[in-house]
Amino acid sequence: MSEIRVRFAPSPTGPLHIGGVRTALYNFLFARQSKGRFILRIEDTDQKRFVPGAEEYILESLSWAGLNIDEGPVQGGPYGPYRQSERRDIYKKYSEQLLKDGHAYMAFDTPEELEAMRERMRKEGNPSPQYNAITRQYMKNSLTLPADEVEKRLAAGEPYVIRIKMPRNEEVKVKDLIRGWVSFQSNQLDDKVLVKADGLPTYHLANVVDDHLMKISHVIRGEEWLPSTPLHVLLYRYLGWEESMPEFAHLPLILRPDGKGKLSKRDGDRLGIPVYPITWKDPASGEESMGFREKGFFPEAFVNMLAFLGWNPGSDQEIFSLDELIKAFSIERIGKAGARFDIEKARWFNQQFLKQKDDAELASMLRPYLEKEGVKAEDAYLVQVCRLMKERAAFIPDIYSEGKYFFAPVEAYDEKIVAKKWNDSVKPFFTALRQRLTDINPFEKEEIEKAVKSEMELKGMKFGQVLPVFRVMLCGTVAGPPIFDVAELLGKEEVLMRMDRFMERYA
RNA sequence: GGCCCCUUCGUCUAGUGGUUAGGACGCAAGGUUUUCAUCCUUGAAACAGGAGUUCGAUUCUCCUAGGGGCUGCCA
């Protein structure tokens, strides 16, 4: 069996969204499990849509997700260059071959003329006019123009495009690994532009030529490409490569969480959910869209979540490391239907990974967030905070946002609890407790608990009367880790200060 | 509009010509926890509709509906 070689071929027209990352992921998993090669090819044949920084963004996103590239523009490889704009000359040879063999022709129609033709046909009731076997007869191309006229135009340097000459009445069958055989009628297809007036190929030609030259064995891409696959099959045939044509697998799309349509940037803005792997700042508008990374997602969780959007292992296991995914992945188990992205499930995945991390690791991951907030804390202290908070967090930043009281004095007290529980019968209790705590050395949770309990007994009070108040004094809220743990970690001095502050305020 | 793809709980999905249609997220209830969270238990929740094939269809076929994609000198 020949080597498995797959490619991820984005165009650098903006940030990758999670559908793109998932496509990259499936390619990557397939390559790794079959000991094949994972190739990155930048499809930048449309210079008009080039967005600065997009290629770097793609690279960084893949790298963050742990999808290491074997061959690509940065790492090179035996079939480079891996940027289509640098392969200009390569395509020329093949477009000329198609021309020579009569499978393609030159068309001199200006964009205006094309638009006029379409407008005319729309008026005649054709909602999507095509440049095809019928209409090409009325257009300016090397099929309709006299040979000398063509020569003249060429000599004059008149711009032209090269179009495929779509055959009539042919059935073109596409074998898709996910959907089985899909067949198309060539009459329904149009004479797609293969080479643009600027001399660069369109996706269709470049993609077929490169996949062949780069010895791609499997084309795993989004479902939006299925309708143009018959065109690609024809191109392989006309170029004489049908025997070694890659296998195709068209992935179902990722749909938006609510409503209709596929996931888009607007959904992210509207629903406050990330749609990009890492934060993207639009160079034109300066607008920033937050990424999964910046939201606090672990790359492992992100990848795990993504893998399950359209694929499943056929077992009950849901938590997978990248290596486990590589072992378990199979194209056969990719679903056919579009998958709706669910932020709640994504959150759950992240929480599962967070729970697995040890306290020190969490602490070092939390550190950058604290620095951003201007919060200082000792390493050992941070580790302890993580130990107490990790059961309560789904994301690293939650450890801070849900546990600010570990790093700063309480700003706001839960007034409902204060109103309900802070009364004249508990006030003396805390005055006495404060005194008892003063004498505890070392200030450890068992001793603190003992002090609280014995004072409770003395005053004949119940946990429910006392503990919520103690908690609000120290944390401001009734939610949080076991209160004696919190007290110990805060330390005697801080605990006493917070008690004083509270009692003064609500005296 | 045309072409193509798709359709199991709200969501991600498993599954089979005869099953109590399974799991996960979320939701609800209960338990554990002095709180919150975790954890445990339980519950509600689905085969789009209609024909046909069949002793029997969620499963196979067709039709309908719904959803999605494509329909550019974009990818």
Average pLDDT, chain A: 93
Q: Note the CA–C1' distance, A184 to B50, in angstroms.
A: 28
pLDDT tens readout for residues A193-237: 999 999 999 999 999 999 999 999 999 999 999 999 999 999 999
Which H or E run includes A247? strand A247-251
Of A114, A141, A145, A144, nearest to A130 by C-alpha is A114
pLDDT tens readout for residues A94-108: 999 999 999 999 999
Q: Note the CA–C1' distance, A147 to B14, in angstroms.
A: 63
- Residue A320 approaches strand B within 7 Å at CB: no
pLDDT of residue A420: 87
Gap between the Cα atoms of A153 and A143, Å rounded: 14
| Catalytically annotated residue among A215, A262, A265, A450 | A265
- Residue A327 approaches strand B within 7 Å at CB: no
Gap between the Cα atoms of A75 and A68, Å rounded: 10
Structure-token match 């001399």, residue found: A199
Burial of A440 (0-12, 13-18, 19+ CB in 10 A): middle
- Residue A227 approaches strand B within 7 Å at CB: yes
Nucleic strand B contact set for A 12-71 (CB, < 7 Å): 13, 43, 45-46, 48-49
Checking if the pLDDT of A259 tops 60, the result is no
CA A305 vs. chain centroid, Å, equals 10
CA A504 vs. chain centroid, Å, equals 51
pLDDT tens readout for residues A109-138: 999 999 999 999 888 888 888 999 999 999
Q: Which two tokens stand for residue A162?
A: 């090269």
Report yes or no: A320 and A32 within 8 Å, Cβ to Cβ. no
- Residue A481 approaches strand B within 7 Å at CB: yes
Of A96, A92, A98, nearest to A237 by C-alpha is A98
Gap between the Cα atoms of A138 and A248, Å rounded: 36
Nucleic strand B contact set for A 112-171 (CB, < 7 Å): 114, 127-131, 159, 161
A265 counts as catalytic: yes
- Residue A403 approaches strand B within 7 Å at CB: no
Q: Note the CA–C1' distance, A7 to B11, in angstroms.
A: 31
DSSP A102: T
Burial of A332 (0-12, 13-18, 19+ CB in 10 A): exposed
- Cα separation of the two ends of chain A: 82
Of A381, A385, A276, A213, nearest to A21 by C-alpha is A276
Smallest CA–C1' separation from A336: which nucleotide? B6
Report yes or no: A406 and A490 within 8 Å, Cβ to Cβ. yes
Of A428, A410, A388, A425, nearest to A471 by C-alpha is A410
3-class state of residue A473 by DSSP? helix
Residues contacting A86, CB < 8 A, separation 6+: none
Report yes or no: A213 and A90 within 8 Å, Cβ to Cβ. yes
Checking if the pLDDT of A16 tops 80, the result is yes
Q: Note the CA–C1' distance, A339 to B59, in angstroms.
A: 22
Q: Note the CA–C1' distance, A299 to B12, in angstroms.
A: 19
Gap between the Cα atoms of A163 and A27, Å rounded: 31
- Residue A447 approaches strand B within 7 Å at CB: no
Q: Name the CA radius of gyration of chain A, rounded.
A: 32
Q: What per-residue string of b and e applies to A183-209 under the rule 16 or more CB within 10 Å gives b?
A: ebebbebbbbbbbbeeebbbbbbbbbb
Q: Which amino acid is at A49?
A: R
Q: Note the CA–C1' distance, A313 to B47, in angstroms.
A: 21
Report yes or no: A40 and A6 within 8 Å, Cβ to Cβ. no
Gap between the Cα atoms of A201 and A211, Å rounded: 14
Poorest-confidence range of A59-73, A91-105, A402-416?
A402-416
ipTM of the complex: 0.94
Report phi then psi at A148, rounded to 5.
-70, -35
DSSP A162-176: EEE-PPSS-EEEEEE
Of A96, A85, A32, nearest to A55 by C-alpha is A85
* Strand B bases within 7 angstroms of protein beta carbons: 1-8, 10-15, 23-26, 33-38, 67-75
Query: Across-strand partners of A410?
Result: none
Gap between the Cα atoms of A227 and A175, Å rounded: 13
Q: What is the mean pLDDT of residues A466-491?
A: 94
Smallest CA–C1' separation from A316: which nucleotide? B23
Report phi then psi at A222, rounded to 5.
-70, 155
Nucleic strand B contact set for A 296-315 (CB, < 7 Å): 308-312, 314
Query: Of all protein residues, which has its CA closest to the C1' atom of B34?
Result: A463
Percentage of chain A surpassing pLDDT 90? 82
Q: Note the CA–C1' distance, A169 to B57, in angstroms.
A: 39
- Residue A349 approaches strand B within 7 Å at CB: no
pLDDT confidence tier of residue A1, bands split at 50, 70 and 90: low
Task: Report H helices in A179-287.
Answer: 203-213, 229-238, 265-271
pLDDT tens readout for residues A346-400: 999 999 999 999 999 999 999 999 999 999 899 999 999 999 999 999 999 999 9
Which H or E run includes A86? none
Checking if the pLDDT of A424 tops 90, the result is no
- Residue A405 approaches strand B within 7 Å at CB: no
pLDDT confidence tier of residue A18, bands split at 50, 70 and 90: very high
Q: Which two tokens stand for residue A254?
A: 């990722």
DSSP A340-379: E--HHHHHHHHHHHHHHS-HHHHHHHHHHHHHHHT----H
Helices A379-389/A359-373 angle, 10° precision: 110
